[in-house]
Each structure stands twice: as structure tokens, then as C-alpha cells.
Amino acid sequence: MRSWGVLGGAAAALAAGIYVLWGPIGGRKRRRRGLVPGLLNLGNTCFMNSLLQGLSSCPSFIRWLEEFTAQYRTEQKAQEHQQLLSVTLLQLLRALSCQEVTEDDVLDASCLLEVLRMNRWQISSFEEQDAHELFHVLTSSLEDERDRQPRVTHLFDVQSLEQPEIIQKQISCRTRGSLPPMSNHWKTQHPFHGRLTSNMVCKHCEHQSPVRFDTFDSLSLSIPAAVWGRPMTLDHCLHHFISSESVKDVVCDNCTKIQAEGILNGQSIENQRTTFVKQLKLGKLPQCLCIHLQRLSWSSQGTPLKRHEHVQFNEFLVMDIYKYRVPGPKSCQEQLSQKNSEETTPGMKDGRAGKPSDAEQPAGTKPLFMNGASSSSSSSPSFLMSPGTFPLTSFPECRAPLYLYRLMAVVVHHGDMHSGHFVTFRRAPGARGSQWLWISDESVRRASLHEVLAASAYLLFYERVHGRAQPQSPAQS
């Protein structure tokens, strides 16, 4: 009896230890097969949880983080790794994409908030925040971390080369072999990085100013005014984004030069001010495309309102017609567009739908596919009538899109401008990429593609897939 008492006491002590370390056994839920972990809501952190689930569905972004953080494996200690945003973000995204071995049903992302606070971002877990703003906080912080990386010492910087630590590194390199490959500054741009082109043309003399480039991490699209009887589509928002606008009272150097040539005796003249036509295009399309649909509007009294209308989008997005192209010989796709001039894409200008103007839709850039709406034309691809399929091989090679994107995740906001909740639709990782999931913080369930396309999107995450191979000139790339 005494031995039985000793065994019983040992068993009780073991059970108490297990409870202290891991909690009640019944409380540890194992993740169901085919699903991904949820994220614990730390107060009002659904904005962060929904964004992390969306980013974890983009394999190119995870691969970039892996390549970017590879330099830390030998340069810094493991303790310092935890203070880096790229390392912390990679660990979370790998776990959410089932690349890390974990059976936990719910993960804690508080470590990300701690790292952001160390980078001087004041983000509270108990105040409602915006998922799109957090996206830009992450991308800008990653760029700051990239810019802090040491650069290669210039050969003409004699003072730096003569420093003892530099000389010691040179000696060690000579004795140990060749230098390790240095990462290129431009190669470290994250896959959401793109460039916009701004084109200005004088209405009077038709002189074109030099094309200006600006960077972007996401395309923030306003939703044009709705037209009765017509559904609002993602194409409408994109056409509205690149539609031309008139800019008045701009100094035209060419008009001033022409005016000066007609005046004798070298008399000075005033700068000629005319009206220019300005148009945006996409100069460099990123590998991962984040589209933000602006749902904030203002009432006549100046109070913020949320726009709840549904914007139709598709599983596949063709961006060829929005890409800036250097003037040159017409491609096969442009020649086909001229032969099929009866095919038009609805555009939005000044809140009204209609056929895009020549400035909005240059020759040879007419869309071959409608993004987010079925076309009534008999020549339109049949895959639009059946979302989720893309019979790319059924089209001639010259008609295959070059900038083809596949939907990876959708972030949805429920509520109004004062309060609400963020949820995410995302693809299941790995071989189950055709399976969609609905995620709301800790809750994860399967969803259908029909349910995804019916959602009122706030953020759309697309990733580029290769439609056809075509060499690009340096100006185009």
C-alpha cells in the first residue's frame, strides 16, 4: 500500500507539472488537416491578423524574406535576430503558411508589435487600426532595415580602406579564399515594390515632357460614381486611376521657345503657360500586387462615410493595358487589337462609365480580357463566365497576356468608419492552393471561390504568374 501511495504521489506531481507547463490538455487544440493556424486577438488586433494572413499567402514575399534574412545567419547573434522586423515577420509568415512545424491551432503575433515599437512605431493593440496603413508601416520599415545594411567600400575611399578593421578583413579574405557574393542594392527591393509613370503633354504644341517615375507599394484605387444598371468592376477602378486629367497654367518650355523664335532683336518674353494633359501608367509592375479599394467618402456635412458597394473582381487579373510602353513597333497583340476594334472595355471618367478616350486607352492597349466582369462580346474569353479557370493554352501565343496575376488573398472590413472587424479570405498553402480559407482571428474554416468573389474587398493580394515569355527592353523593365 505504501508503494502505491508513492506512485500515486509521483503521478500527481507529474500531472501538476504538465498543467503548469502546457496548461490543461483539453485546452490545446490541434489544427485540422488542410487548415492554417489562426491568430490570437490581443484586444483589437484583427487589422494585424488579417494582414498577416494575407501576406502569408504570397510565396514570393516569403522567399524574398528568406533571401533577405540569410545575411543575418552568420553576421549577428541569435538574440539580435529577434529585434529585426524581417526575421520576426518571416517566422510568423512561415508558421501561417505551414512551413514551420507547429500543431498549435492559434498563434500569438504580439512579437511583431514589439518589434514595430522598437522601430518607433506607436501601435496599440487596444485601439482600432487600419490594415492598409499597417501594410505601409511594414514595407517602409523593411526598406529602412535594408538601407541600414552596410555598403561595399568604394575603391577610391582611401581613408576608409586604411582603417584597421578594413585591412584585417582584407587579410582574412586573402587567407580564407574568395569574397562572398555581395547582395545588390536593387535586388533587395521587396516584391511589392513598383513604379508609376507620369506623362505630361502640352495641348497647344503637343510637346511631351520627360516621363517621371514614382514608386509605390500598393495601388490605392478610388471607386468611381456608380452608374445605374451597371456593376462596378475592378477594371472601372483601374481605368479611372490611369484616366487622363487636364492641368492648367503650366509653363511650357517648348511654347516659350517657339514664341521666342518669332520675335526679332532678341527681346525677352514671358514664359508661355498652357494646359497640359497628365496621365499615369504603371512603369514597373511588381511580382506581388496589393490593391487597396478606397472605401472612405465624405458627406456634405464633412462626416466620414464608408462605401459598401461591391466591386467585382476575378481570380485572374490582366494588367497589360495599364503598363507603360515605350513608343515603338506594334506588337502582335496590338495588331490583333486593331482587327477587333469592336471589343471595348468600360472606363470611368468624371464618375461616368463609357468607352475610354484615346488618352485613357492608347492604340494597341485594348484589353483582351475583362477583369472582374463578364463580357457580352462573343469574342471574349469563356473563362470569365466560369471563375477559377484560365485556359491559357487555348489562346494564340501572341494573345496570351504578359502581365497575368492570380488572386491570393482578400481582406474584408465589416462595419462602418468608426468600428468594425477585419477578416481574410486566402488560399490554402502548398498543394492545396485551389482550396480557399476564411479566417477571422482564431477562427479558420474552408470557403469556396464563389464566396471569395462575392466579398466586399478592401485589400486584394495578387501574385504574378507567367503567361508568356517576352524579352523586355531596359526602359520597359
Active site residues: 46, 421
**Residue 362: which of 398, 318, 320 has the closest Cα?**
320
DSSP assignment letter at 200: E
Distance between CA atoms of residues 62 and 273, nearest Å: 50
Residue 415: name the closest of 288, 270, 252, 305 by CA. 305
SS3 assignment, position 301: coil
Cα separation, 412 vs 423, whole angstroms: 5
Identify the sign of the CA torsion 373, 376, 380, 383.
positive
What's the CA gap between 446 and 437, in Å, rounded?
Answer: 4
Q: Are 346 and 236 in contact (CB under 8 A)?
A: yes
Residue 350 contacts by C-beta under 8 Å, 6 or more apart in sequence?
none
What sign does the dihedral 323-328-329-330 (CA atoms) show?
positive
CA 41 – CA 125 distance, rounded (Å): 9
The identity of residue 212, as a single letter, is R
**CA 466 – CA 469 distance, rounded (Å):** 7
Q: How many helices (H) does the chain have, and how many strands (E)?
A: 14, 18
SS (H, E, C) 123-161: CCCCCCCCHHHHHHHHHHHHHHHHHCCCCCCCCCCHHHH
> Do the Cβ atoms of 278 and 247 come closer than 8 Å?
yes
For residue 435, CA distances in Å to 2, 280, 427, 464 come to 59, 36, 6, 19
**Directed axis angle between helix 46-56 and helix 85-96, to 10°?**
80
Angle at 84 between CA 440 and CA 141, to 5 degrees: 70
Do 336 and 400 touch, CB atoms closer than 8 A?
A: no
